[in-house]
Amino acid sequence: MPVPDNKGDKTLLTNVPAKLPYPDAYTGSFFKRDLRNFHYMDHDEPHATRRRMILEKHPEIKKLMKQDPFSLFLTLALVLGQTLIMYLIQNWSWFLVIPAAFLSGAVLSHALYVLIHDLTHYTAFKSRKANQFTAILCNLGQGVPSSIAFGRYHADHHIFLGRPNWDPDLPTQWEIGFFTTPLRKFLYVLVMPFFYGGRPYVVCPKGPNIMEFINTAIIVAWDFAIWYMFGSKALVYLLLGTIFGLGLNPVAMHIIAEHYEFISGQDTYSYYGLFNIPNLNIGYHIEHHDFPNIPWRKLPQLREIAPEFYNTLPQHKSYLLVFYKYIFDKDFGAWCRIGRNHGEDIKQKRS
């Protein structure tokens, strides 16, 4: 991410050029890499610096930092939609359950994931608990009690972006060493939600809190109610949709697009295409990391107010190209991430 350091390093310019160095992130992604390790760099997490600079030039952006309760109403609509489909699917053939989970379940479940992602930054209500219970409500449309734990670990991703042993978004050394062939990388995409859900408990575990127990109790009871009222087809649809929605379905490709190092030295990437409609603007990812307290509906306004900070950065044009490159480019994989300071400062802080 182009930001200045204290020494004026010309490789980290903030005054980004008027013309993109590459027409898109994919075109600029062909360069020599270390296939065994992350690309370690010494610059600090860039988004805090960008945030200060953008606010100095555009203080009016602060007007966008207001809670937006619309997320609650959208959550209710999506959960109601999922419940209606589960009611209908109990009479369908088993052969239709998997296609339904991939086509509708994945898209609806993923939209709920994006809302959880936003709610972890308390963008809907001023009350912390109101945001948390809305996030738990999102889990009703996914069947997995993940929202509270996700919020706790996602905060570390923002604060310690790129720092091994602390940023739960970084792949482990085992992942780097194992997912190296097209078949194995395809398998990784297929089971990606299990890695993203389980990795934090291995890399930087936290003890559970009372809200996580509440989250689990509510969703387990809900899943049992779905099975009891609508049968096993409905429950399989719900859970498969969540797996597809954070894995093989195209709506999930932003997970790879956001922080894998497509352009040498750039940490984070945005995407401004049509997938932002079902994905609720999750493609505006540089904008989100710059201002995580701006609700998802207002991120396009942020880009409009400060285009000189966003339009001149390499961006993704196609999630399908992201998928193609990840699977078939032998030089591209879990190792394509920027790491900072080898995590030594974090190890010292935790010890």
Nearest to 237 by CA among 134, 91, 115, 138: 91
Q: Which two tokens stand for residue 351?
A: 């010890």
Provide the pLDDT for residue 16: 45
pLDDT tens, 247-272? 999 999 999 999 999 998 889 999 99
Position 2 pLDDT exceeds 70: no
Number of residues assigned to the chain: 351
Task: Indicate whether 6 pLDDT > 50.
Answer: no
Contact 157, 337 (CB under 8 A): no
In 3D space, the residue among 204, 258, 246, 263 whose CA is nearest the CA of residue 47 turns out to be 258
Angle in degrees, CA 334, 303, 45, rounded to 5: 40
Average pLDDT for 132-157: 96
Specify the pairing of strand 39-41 against strand 338-340. parallel
Residues 6+ apart with CB under 8 A from 228: none
CB 285 within 8 A of CB 271: yes
Burial readout 2-33 (b: 16 or more C-beta within 10 A, e: otherwise): bbbeeeeeeebeeebeeebeeebbbebbeeeb
CA distance 119 to 135: 6
Task: Tell me the C-alpha distance between 292 and 230, whole Å.
Answer: 38
Quick count: other Cβ atoms within 10 Å of Cβ 103? 12
Burial class (CB in 10 A: 0-12, 13-18, 19+), 234: buried
* Residue 242 pLDDT: 98
Least confident of 5-14, 111-120, 124-133, 301-310: 5-14
- Per-residue pLDDT band for 239 (boundaries 50, 70, 90) equals very high
**144 and 239 in contact (C-beta within 8 Å)?**
yes
Tokens 């050394």: give the residue. Answer: 173
pLDDT tens for each residue of 201-226: 998 899 999 999 999 999 999 999 99
Q: Contact, 100 vs 92, CB < 8 A? A: yes
Q: Angle, to 10 degrees, between the axis of helix 232-245 and the axis of helix 210-230?
A: 130
State residue 323 phi and psi, 5-degree precision.
-60, -45
Span 26-36, pLDDT tens digits: 787 777 888 88
Residue 271 backbone phi and psi in degrees, to 5:
-140, 130
* Rounded (5°) CA angle 167-168-170: 75
CA distance 194 to 181: 19
Phi and psi angles of residue 339, each rounded to the nearest 5 degrees, phi first: -110, 160
